[in-house]
Copies of this chain bind each other. A is one copy, B any other.
């Protein structure tokens, strides 16, 4: 069976625990997963290392990558570019690793266009009421804070239907294992195993001819 890596896009609500979830997943299964490293034109902060937190590039280098189509997706926030270099992702996929990419909906759509086989996961709290209480907090937040969180959550919820799976983060432990088993299961999707099926059928044809 083919064990080619799958490109896994992870989006979801802020505060749903995406960061912790992925750190835990990578920590537990370092042979299975690789985290995509983004490129950026912003300056490195103290303690950040080139190729670990980000690939730090000049504006000129970044724009050359755009021009050459070497980025799977990119965006500009506050005068700085952020993007996903295709080379790194492709190398890890070829090594058979599932590559995890944490991005937002617009980036996810671009990835899906370039890599139609990519798997889109959306991390969410277990219920609407749980989401609400996370947005509202403990009653100590200003209306401004709550409104800005809500606006963000609405943006994040947009396009939720375009994701393949919902990852319900209630209990971290259970959620990491569920995410892992969903990705493992996807490797068995028949659409990802056309080659295997072809071999089986050709094997049968060959026997017939003898």
- Interface set of A (CB-CB < 8 Å, partner B): 1, 122, 124, 126-129, 131-132, 135, 150, 153-154, 157, 160-161, 163-168, 178, 181-182, 184-186, 188-190, 193-194, 196-197, 199-204, 207-208
Give the shortest distance, in Å, between A101 (CB) and chain B (any CB): 18
Give the shortest distance, in Å, between A124 (CB) and chain B (any CB): 7
Q: Which residues of B contact A124 (CB under 8 A)?
A: 200
CA distance A193 to B161 in the complex (A): 9
Q: Which residues of B contact A200 (CB under 8 A)?
A: 124, 128, 131, 157, 160
Q: Which residues of B contact A185 (CB under 8 A)?
A: 165, 178, 181-182, 185-186
- Contact between chains at B181 and A193 (CB < 8 Å): no
A–B Cβ pairs within 8 angstroms, 30 of them: A1-B168, A124-B200, A128-B199, A128-B200, A128-B203, A128-B204, A129-B203, A131-B203, A131-B204, A132-B203, A132-B207, A135-B207, A150-B207, A153-B204, A157-B197, A157-B201, A160-B201, A161-B190, A161-B194, A164-B189, A164-B190, A165-B185, A165-B188, A166-B196, A168-B188, A178-B184, A178-B185, A181-B181, A181-B184, A185-B185
Q: Which residues of B contact A1 (CB under 8 A)?
A: 126, 166, 168
CA distance A33 to B160 in the complex (A): 29
Q: Which residues of B contact A135 (CB under 8 A)?
A: 207
Q: In the assembly, how many copies of this chain are there?
A: 2
Give the shortest distance, in Å, between A13 (CB) and chain B (any CB): 9
CA distance A169 to B159 in the complex (A): 37
CA distance A1 to B184 in the complex (A): 22
Q: Which residues of B contact A208 (CB under 8 A)?
A: 150, 154
Q: Which residues of B contact A199 (CB under 8 A)?
A: 127-128
Give the shortest distance, in Å, between A23 (CB) and chain B (any CB): 21
CA distance A207 to B164 in the complex (A): 27
Give the shortest distance, in Å, between A117 (CB) and chain B (any CB): 15
